[in-house]
Each structure stands twice: as C-alpha cells, then as structure tokens.
Structure 1
Amino acid sequence: MYRPTCPADAQPADRAEMAGPGQHPTVDAWQIVIVHVEGAWQPALLTQWRRLPTGWVAHVRWRQTQDPGDGWAWLRHDPTTLQPLTPDGIDAAGLGA
C-alpha cells in the first residue's frame, strides 16, 4: 500500500470515502502523467478518474514490480503533485536525454 515518504508527495485517496455510500462516477482515461511520489517526480500511467464527495481522485501506476500492491495507488487530484506530461515534466521526471 502506498504511503507518502515526504511532505511534497501525492496524497492517497481516503479509503473510507472510496468505499462510502453514494455513487462515485468513474471515467476511464489512459494518460501519461508525472506524479510526485517517493520523494521525486516519476513518470506514471493514469488509468481512471473517480469523483468523490470531496473531489477527484486518480488511479495511477508509476512502476511495475513483483508485488502487485506496489507502485500504484488512488491519489487525490492536486496539480502540485499530479500533472500531465509536458516538456517541463519530462525534465522534472528525469526522462530527458
């Protein structure tokens, strides 16, 4: 399970709110993004958006490991920690040449 390692990291969605009553509309979205997790900007794949009573959350996978519960999470949408991949983001995530 994902836990932020520094104050600048993306925050996970509240599990109780995710499982709470009412409808939580979900929208599929395949988008390359950068996300601030584990103390750094990392490239990631955003696969879904979900609307909760307190705002949007995104299903994001930033790495694939042997542990299926590692390297992905439902994260609260915050433009300071989750951004579309842009030329500036390529440099921030260390993907540039």
Structure 2
Amino acid sequence: MQEQNICLFALKRSNSKENWTKSVRQLIFKQRRRVETVFSQLTGQLNAERVLAKSFQGLCTRLVNKVLAYNLCIALNSIFNESCELGKIKELIF
C-alpha cells in the first residue's frame, strides 16, 4: 500500500497512550459515516442482500451491475440537468 501512496488511519483505542487530535478524529468519523451510509443505501435500495447468485463470480457480477446502474443514473441526471442528492437513490432517474 505504501507503493501506491495509500495511508490508512485507524482510531486509537481508549487505552492507547497517544491519540489523534480532535480535528483528525472528526474527519475520520465524517468519512466513515459517509461510507457506511452509502453502503447501507446500496444494500437497501438495490436489494444487495437478496442477490441469488450460485457462485462467487455470479455474486460479483450482479453487484457490479447494480453499482453500474447506480452510476449510470447519476450520469443521466447530470446530462439532463436533473438536480438530485446522490444519497437519494430512488430519486436519481425516476
């Protein structure tokens, strides 16, 4: 990961001697909340938990197709100048 310039930040445990500053902790919480919200919405709105694939490759294919459809809706909304929050999946194209 260092070769690709990826740096992981993890919150320190309560019994740790050193801790991140408050601003860094808030940044980590904000990013984590955003990621968890998007995953939750994709799971709920695109029925990601109900993918009935028979193999791991089939599961990956179906999930990739669902994410592709989500991204396509975002692209179409931007082309047609439709204003919609990215987090509201149901309102993207319909």
| Structure with greater strand share of residues | 1
| Structure with greater helix share of residues | 2
Q: Under a length normalisation based on structure 2, what TM-score does the superposition of the two structures give? A: 0.24
Q: Under a length normalisation based on structure 1, what TM-score does the superposition of the two structures give? A: 0.23
Structure of greater relative contact order (alpha carbons < 8 Å, 6+ residues apart): 1
Choose 1 or 2 for highest CA Rg.
2
